[in-house]
């Protein structure tokens, strides 16, 4: 039976007008009305009029009663549960209500406790564990760029040697480091993807590549799908990743087989890749510095020269530092996919070319490969430290005096909220009261 | 003083810092100092032999030089600075030129440099530790570029790897060995940014001097067209086949108002001349005092010139002591006493009392004394005395006021 008025009411969200529970309650009440002691004797309880009137009254009360009953256990009603949670979490917005809402309700107080802590961007460790509230707010996925970095007081404003008001570089902001370690010195080799790690060791906080390079085996096929070889020093065939002649080898930071320790990026952002390098022999060996770019399926797609637009994976190839035993700081930039070509572009060291993302790129592995050109002698080493992968710059300069509690963000907002609204929620609900944000929405 | 109101969380950018710099430049002391300037021009630095912007013949034929660091100030309160410089070419056409100076901005750092194949930078007269910063010490490195007349071979912008000392540094890049280079500090910019033309011109603006030759049209007459108080002539020069003739034409000097307490010495520069300064101030130096008031011959001591038949032994003297009191000594004699010749001598105007002073003088015979007095006209009068008797002046003294 059609019930257009009921269908427009608030009750319709919970049950139909002819819900069995409603009808049962109605009939029960109607029976009692027709029975002894409730209505006067002179009322004809068997008449059709009586039934019509009191059945309607009973039904209305049955609807109200059953509606009230819904609140006895809100977990049984997803809509009520969501409404309830929304009262407490103005930013309540889930990607999967079926799985997330019960989990949030179950950890209702925990959600409040997590606010103002690192837990807000803690990623789910598995089934039954929620992403942090901030990640949920922006509907973050593992393939989205996400940096949410508390900036230390000395990293902003004017601090000699560390920060300058009109500078916009991220280099000195430790928490914006995406890989692989935060400090200048290397402390843990296991954090790096290494190639031929048998000749790589950690010496005085330097990643040291020694003269044991000759143990490597050639050739190694790394590329498939007809892509150009990474290096062409001694090429024996297309798609081969070969360093030096047979019997000599290569080693370094990077990956040559399946993707290892990839860094998730957003192809519209610019990133800086930098490291410091010391060679004690600039004749017998050289090094190459590049980037391997992959799509979301971990298929290598390469990158472009920002100078010419040609396919290019190396910032610089087969290069030796200008002098031995001096530490050179090498900094490459991989520009966002929308960057116009820059004809005069070079690395900071005056050689090489910076790169540019292809639009499909979603993850990268930086490459620093030391190549034994054939005569690397005993005691020859190449030492690397201070490897960093970070956004190239902030979208504002560091010109703030004594700013404390500043949080820099690079965030992809996939939620229904506007960027401004998302920022408002983050600042008012998720971070400590004495913090503020500078978020660059991608 | 105008100021920038610093506070926490204040965003400071280019505009704010430029204002801050302007406020420092226009500080109270600086503003008052400049506004009290009387005339603009060359700073007459007396510590330099010949002063600022003294033009002399250069070492090479046909050139001139400025031997000492020189300074001038224009009416925009800008400093015109010229480090000592030699071998400034003079047009070799036999014409007279006037050398005109004005302010310009220089981007060059001090000294010259040589770079080798590996990027090792060697300087002469350079101050690398003041202006460069290398990456090897984990600092944010500066970048530089080179300049050479006719174009430097190494024409890129280079990043500093490390700075050894004021004369040695290491750069990174591709180099061709080259010497005689000037260098310009570009600074440190956010990685990957394309530098603007202005940024590529250099980080620092240094006060410098633009030297211009203006051909003379009327003999030994300053050419017209000079921007007054902005440009200043310093010399008139001519180069005849490598022989340079120089005429100093520095006439416009920077001077400063000094009013009030130092009126007697309204030009303190005269203090370098002791005689003029002492005269301005109305004082004597110790040397002058010793000389002026010594009783030695010719040192302020004078011989009385007797008149009216009076005679002396040639050693009748008068002088002033250090307090200005006039003293007499020696004797007088007259063989024909008379009322009309009572005036024995007349002292000069500097040694006369304002009012008549009287004395009792010892004589050579008997135990009598004679009366004498001197009036404001300097007339020393002995009204009555015995002929041929010596009258002694020793002990006579009087104030002149």
Is the CB of A169 less than 8 angstroms away from the CB of B16? no
Tell me the three state secondary structure of residue B277. Answer: helix
Omega within 30 of 0 (cis) for the link into B75? no
Cβ contact B96:B222 at 8 Å: no
pLDDT of amino acid B324 = 78
Q: What share of chain A is helix, strand, coil (3-state, %, to 5)?
A: 25, 25, 50
Q: Among B195-199, B211-215, B273-277, which is the least confidently predicted range?
A: B273-277
- For A310, residues 6+ apart whose C-beta sits below 8 A from its C-beta are A304
Cβ contact B306:B314 at 8 Å: no
Best of A185, A322, A383 to substitute, by most chain B Cβ atoms within 10 angstroms, is A322
Tell me the three state secondary structure of residue A1. Answer: coil
Task: Give the whole-number percent of chain B exceeding pLDDT 90.
Answer: 56
Sign of CA dihedral A426, A430, A435, A439: negative
What pairing do the DSSP bridges indicate for beta strands B343-346 and B379-381? antiparallel
Query: What residues of A are in contact with residue B120 (Cβ under 8 Å)?
Result: 323
Residue B106's CB is within 10 A of a number of other CB atoms, namely 17
Q: Among A168-172, B34-38, B145-149, B279-283, which is the least confidently predicted range?
A: B279-283
pTM attached to this predicted model = 0.73
Q: A324: which DSSP letter?
A: T
* Distance to chain A for B56, nearest Cα, Å: 45
Residue in A349, A351, A402 nearest the CB of B9: A402
- Chain B residue with CA closest to A324: the answer is B118
Interface of A with B in 132-191 (CB under 8 A): 157-158, 161, 164-169, 171-172, 184
A404 vs B: CB within 8 A: yes
Residue in B8, B118, B139 nearest the CB of A401: B8
- Chain B residue with CA closest to A160: the answer is B139
Q: Which of A313, A326, A244 is nearest to A285 (CA)?
A: A244
Query: What residues of A are in contact with residue B140 (Cβ under 8 Å)?
Result: 161, 164, 167, 169, 171-172
Cβ contact B185:B142 at 8 Å: yes
Q: Which of A292, A284, A206 is nearest to A248 (CA)?
A: A284
Omega within 30 of 0 (cis) for the link into A219? yes
Is the CB of A401 less than 8 angstroms away from the CB of B9? yes
Query: What residues of B are in contact with residue A344 (Cβ under 8 Å)?
Result: 194
Q: Which of B387, B383, B388 is nearest to B358 (CA)?
A: B383
Residue A251's CB is within 10 A of a number of other CB atoms, namely 25
For residue B203 the two structure tokens come to 């980080």
Lookup result for tokens 């290397």: A186
Q: What is the pLDDT of residues B85-107, one digit of tens each?
A: 999 999 999 999 999 999 999 99
* Distance to chain A for B160, nearest Cα, Å: 9
Cβ contact B100:B232 at 8 Å: yes
Going along chain A from its start, the domains and CATH numbers come out as 4-72 (no CATH), 76-151+405-441 (no CATH), 169-391 (2.60.120.260)
Query: What residues of A are in contact with residue B11 (Cβ under 8 Å)?
Result: 396-397, 399-400
b (16+ CB within 10 A) / e for A184-218: eebeeeeebbbbbbebbeeeeebbbbbbbbeebeb
Residue B291 has pLDDT above 60, yes or no: yes
Cβ contact A174:A155 at 8 Å: yes
The full DSSP string for A330-367 is: EEEEEE-TTPPP-TT---TTS-S--EE--TT--EEEEE
- For B2, residues 6+ apart whose C-beta sits below 8 A from its C-beta are B22, B23, B26
What pairing do the DSSP bridges indicate for beta strands A382-391 and A206-209? antiparallel
Spatial separation of the C-alpha atoms in residues B172 and B121, rounded to whole Å: 10
- Chain B residue with CA closest to A353: the answer is B192
pLDDT of amino acid A81 = 82
* Distance to chain A for B228, nearest Cα, Å: 39
C-alpha torsion B17→B19→B21→B22, nearest 10: 170
Which H or E run contains B113?
A: strand B112-115
Spatial separation of the C-alpha atoms in residues A291 and A312, rounded to whole Å: 9
Residue in A322, A331, A342 nearest the CB of B118: A322
Query: What residues of B are in contact with residue A351 (Cβ under 8 Å)?
Result: 173-174
Is the CB of A326 less than 8 angstroms away from the CB of B170? yes
Spatial separation of the C-alpha atoms in residues B232 and A221, rounded to whole Å: 76
- Chain B residue with CA closest to A403: the answer is B9
Query: What residues of A are in contact with residue B199 (Cβ under 8 Å)?
Result: none
Q: Which of B44, B9, B38, B2 is nearest to B23 (CA)?
A: B2
pLDDT of amino acid B46 = 63
Best of B135, B192, B200 to substitute, by most chain A Cβ atoms within 10 angstroms, is B192
Best of B10, B141, B190, B200 to substitute, by most chain A Cβ atoms within 10 angstroms, is B190
Q: Which long-range contacts does B224-232 make (Cβ < 8 Å, 24+ apart)?
A: B226/B100, B227/B102, B229/B40, B229/B41, B229/B74, B229/B75, B230/B74, B230/B75, B230/B76, B230/B102, B230/B103, B231/B74, B231/B100, B231/B101, B231/B102, B232/B41, B232/B42, B232/B53, B232/B72, B232/B74, B232/B80, B232/B100, B232/B101, B232/B102
Q: What angle, 0 to 180 degrees and rounded to 10, lies between the N-to-C axes of helices A97-106 and A78-88?
A: 60
> Cβ-count burial of A174 within 10 angstroms (0-12 exposed, 13-18 middle, 19+ buried)?
middle
- Chain A residue with CA closest to B188: the answer is A167
CA Rg value for chain B: 37
Q: A25: which DSSP letter?
A: H
Q: A430: which DSSP letter?
A: I
Spatial separation of the C-alpha atoms in residues B117 and B108, rounded to whole Å: 23
CA Rg value for chain A: 32
Q: What is the pLDDT of residues B330-378, one digit of tens each?
A: 998 887 777 677 899 999 888 899 999 999 999 887 768 889 999 999 9
Check: complex ipTM more than 0.90: no
Phi, psi for residue B115 in degrees, rounded to 5: -120, 140
- Chain A residue with CA closest to B9: the answer is A403
Q: What is the mean pLDDT of residues B13-38?
A: 85
Cβ contact B353:B399 at 8 Å: yes
Residues of B near A (Cβ–Cβ under 8 Å) read: 6-14, 16-17, 118-120, 135-136, 138-141, 156, 158-159, 161-162, 170-174, 188, 190-194
Is the CB of A349 less than 8 angstroms away from the CB of B173? yes
Query: What residues of A are in contact with residue B119 (Cβ under 8 Å)?
Result: 322-323
Residue B29 has pLDDT above 50, yes or no: yes
Q: Which long-range contacts does B13-17 make (Cβ < 8 Å, 24+ apart)?
A: B13/A165, B13/A166, B13/A397, B13/A399, B14/A166, B16/A399, B17/A165, B17/A166
Residue in B17, B140, B161 nearest the CB of A328: B161
Distances from the Cα of A269 to the Cα of A337, A390, A408, B123, angstroms: 8, 10, 15, 41
* Distance to chain B for A183, nearest Cα, Å: 12
Is the CB of B12 less than 8 angstroms away from the CB of A327? no
- Chain B residue with CA closest to A282: the answer is B118
Q: From the DSSP assignment, how many helices (H) and strands (E) are in chain B?
A: 6, 29
Is the CB of A168 less than 8 angstroms away from the CB of B190? yes
Cβ contact B305:B343 at 8 Å: no
Tell me the three state secondary structure of residue B271. Answer: helix
Bridge partners of B146, per DSSP, are B183
Which H or E run contains A86?
A: helix A78-88
Most confident of A156-170, A247-261, B181-195, B273-287: B181-195
Tell me the three state secondary structure of residue A383. Answer: strand
> Cβ-count burial of B159 within 10 angstroms (0-12 exposed, 13-18 middle, 19+ buried)?
buried
Cβ contact B361:B313 at 8 Å: no
* Distance to chain A for B26, nearest Cα, Å: 23
Query: What distance lies between CA B143 and its chain's CA centroid?
Result: 41
Cβ contact B32:A428 at 8 Å: no
Per-residue pLDDT tens digits of chain A, which is 442 residues long: 678 999 999 899 889 999 999 999 999 999 999 888 888 888 888 889 999 999 999 999 999 999 999 888 888 887 788 888 877 776 666 767 777 788 888 888 888 889 999 999 988 887 778 888 899 889 898 999 999 999 998 898 888 888 888 899 998 899 999 999 998 888 888 999 988 787 788 888 888 776 555 433 333 333 333 333 344 343 333 322 333 333 346 778 998 778 899 999 999 999 999 999 988 878 766 788 999 999 999 998 999 999 999 988 889 988 888 899 999 999 999 999 999 999 888 999 999 999 999 999 999 999 998 876 545 555 677 889 999 999 999 988 888 877 889 999 999 999 888 999 999 999 998 999 999 999 999 9
> How many A×B Cβ pairs under 8 Å?
106
pLDDT of amino acid A228 = 38
- Quote the mean pLDDT of chain B: 87
- Chain A residue with CA closest to B141: the answer is A329
Is the CB of A323 less than 8 angstroms away from the CB of B118? yes
> Cβ-count burial of A282 within 10 angstroms (0-12 exposed, 13-18 middle, 19+ buried)?
middle
Q: Which of A358, A254, A379 is nearest to A304 (CA)?
A: A358
Q: Which of A162, A175, A159, A385 is nearest to B139 (CA)?
A: A162
* Distance to chain B for A287, nearest Cα, Å: 16
Going along chain B from its start, the domains and CATH numbers come out as 36-107+207-248 (no CATH), 112-204 (no CATH), 302-398 (2.60.40)
Query: What distance lies between CA A435 and its chain's CA centroid?
Result: 21
Best of B117, B120, B133, B172 to substitute, by most chain A Cβ atoms within 10 angstroms, is B172
For residue A277 the two structure tokens come to 């390098």
Q: What is the mean pLDDT of residues B170-186?
A: 96
- Chain A residue with CA closest to B142: the answer is A348
Q: What share of chain B is helix, strand, coil (3-state, %, to 5)?
A: 15, 35, 50
Interface of A with B in 232-291 (CB under 8 A): 270, 272, 276
Best of A169, A350, A407, A437 to substitute, by most chain B Cβ atoms within 10 angstroms, is A350
Spatial separation of the C-alpha atoms in residues A380 and A212, rounded to whole Å: 9
* Distance to chain B for A251, nearest Cα, Å: 24
């Amino acid at each position: 039976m059609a019930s257009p008025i009921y269908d427009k009411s608030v009750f319709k969200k919970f049950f139909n007008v002819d819900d069995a529970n409603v009808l049962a309650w109605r009939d029960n009440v109607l029976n009692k009305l027709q029975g002894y002691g409730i209505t006067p004797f002179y009322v004809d309880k068997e008449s059709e009029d009586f039934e019509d009137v009191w059945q309607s009254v009973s039904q209305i009360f049955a609807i109200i009663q059953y509606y009230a009953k819904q609140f006895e256990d809100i977990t049984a009603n997803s809509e009520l549960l969501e409404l309830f949670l929304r009262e407490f979490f103005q930013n309540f917005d889930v990607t999967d209500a079926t799985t997330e809402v019960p989990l949030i309700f179950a950890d209702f107080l925990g959600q409040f406790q997590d606010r103002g802590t690192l837990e807000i961007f803690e990623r789910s460790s598995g089934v039954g564990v929620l992403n942090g509230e901030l990640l949920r707010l922006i509907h973050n996925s593992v393939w989205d760029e996400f940096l949410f970095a508390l900036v230390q007081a000395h990293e902003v404003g004017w601090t000699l040697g560390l920060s300058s008001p009109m500078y916009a570089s991220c280099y000195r902001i430790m928490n914006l480091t995406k890989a692989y370690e935060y400090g200048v010195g290397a402390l843990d080799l296991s954090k790096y993807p290494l190639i031929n790690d048998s000749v790589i060791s950690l010496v005085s906080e330097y990643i040291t590549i020694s003269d044991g390079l000759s143990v490597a085996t050639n050739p190694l096929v790394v590329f498939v799908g007809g892509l150009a070889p990474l290096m062409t020093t001694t090429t024996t065939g297309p798609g081969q990743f070969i360093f030096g002649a047979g019997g000599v080898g290569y080693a370094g930071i990077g990956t040559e087989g399946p993707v290892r320790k990839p860094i998730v990026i957003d192809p519209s952002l610019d990133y800086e890749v930098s490291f410091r390098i010391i060679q004690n022999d600039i004749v017998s060996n050289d090094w190459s510095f590049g980037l391997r770019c992959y799509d979301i399926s971990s298929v290598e797609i390469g990158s472009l020269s920002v100078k010419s637009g040609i396919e290019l994976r190396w910032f610089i190839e087969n290069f030796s530092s200008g002098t031995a035993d001096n530490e050179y700081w090498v900094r490459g930039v991989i520009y966002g996919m929308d960057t116009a070509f820059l004809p005069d572009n070079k690395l900071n060291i005056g050689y090489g070319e910076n790169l540019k993302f292809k639009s499909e790129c979603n993850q990268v592995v930086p490459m620093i490969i030391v190549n034994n050109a054939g005569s690397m002698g005993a005691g020859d080493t190449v030492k690397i430290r201070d490897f960093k992968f970070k956004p190239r710059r902030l979208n504002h300069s560091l010109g703030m005096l004594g700013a404390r509690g500043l949080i820099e963000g690079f965030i992809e907002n996939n939620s229904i909220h506007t960027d401004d609204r998302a920022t408002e929620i983050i600042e008012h609900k998720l971070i400590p009261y004495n913090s503020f944000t500078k978020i660059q929405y991608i | 003083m105008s100021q920038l109101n610093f506070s926490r969380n204040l965003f400071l950018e280019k505009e704010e810092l430029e204002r801050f710099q302007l406020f420092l430049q226009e500080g109270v002391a600086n503003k008052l100092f400049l506004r009290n300037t009387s005339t603009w021009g060359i700073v007459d630095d007396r510590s330099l032999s010949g002063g600022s912007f003294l033009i002399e013949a250069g070492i090479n034929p046909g050139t001139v030089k400025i031997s000492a660091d020189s300074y001038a100030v224009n009416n925009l309160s800008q400093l015109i600075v010229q480090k000592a410089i030699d071998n400034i070419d003079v047009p070799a056409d036999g014409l007279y030129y006037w050398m005109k100076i004005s302010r310009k901005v220089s981007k060059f750092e001090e000294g010259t440099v040589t770079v080798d194949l590996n990027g090792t930078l060697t300087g002469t007269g350079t101050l690398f530790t003041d202006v460069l910063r290398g990456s090897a010490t984990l600092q944010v490195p500066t970048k530089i570029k080179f300049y050479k007349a006719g174009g430097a071979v190494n024409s890129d912008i280079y990043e500093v790897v490390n700075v050894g000392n004021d004369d040695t540094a290491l750069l990174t890049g591709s180099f061709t060995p080259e010497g005689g280079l000037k260098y310009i500090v570009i600074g440190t910019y956010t990685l990957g940014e394309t530098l603007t033309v202005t940024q590529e011109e250099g980080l620092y603006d240094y006060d410098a001097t633009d030297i211009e030759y203006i051909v003379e049209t009327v003999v030994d007459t300053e050419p017209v067209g000079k921007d007054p108080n902005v440009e200043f002539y310093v010399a008139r020069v001519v180069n005849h086949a490598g022989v340079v003739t120089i005429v100093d034409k520095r006439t416009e000097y920077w001077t400063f108002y000094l009013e009030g307490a130092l009126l007697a010495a309204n030009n303190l520069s005269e203090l370098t001349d002791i005689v003029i300064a002492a005269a301005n101030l109305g004082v004597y130096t110790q040397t002058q005092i010793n000389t002026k008031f010594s009783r030695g011959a010719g040192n302020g001591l004078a011989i009385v010139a007797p008149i009216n038949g009076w005679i002396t032994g040639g050693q009748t003297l008068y002088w002033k002591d250090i307090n200005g009191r006039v003293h007499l000594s020696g004797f007088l004699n007259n063989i024909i006493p008379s009322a009309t010749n009572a005036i024995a001598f007349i002292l000069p105007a500097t040694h006369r009392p304002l009012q008549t002073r009287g004395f009792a003088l010892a004589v050579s015979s008997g135990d009598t004394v004679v009366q004498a007095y001197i009036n404001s006209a300097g007339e020393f009068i002995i009204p009555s005395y015995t002929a041929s008797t010596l009258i002694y002046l020793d002990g006579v003294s009087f104030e002149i006021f």
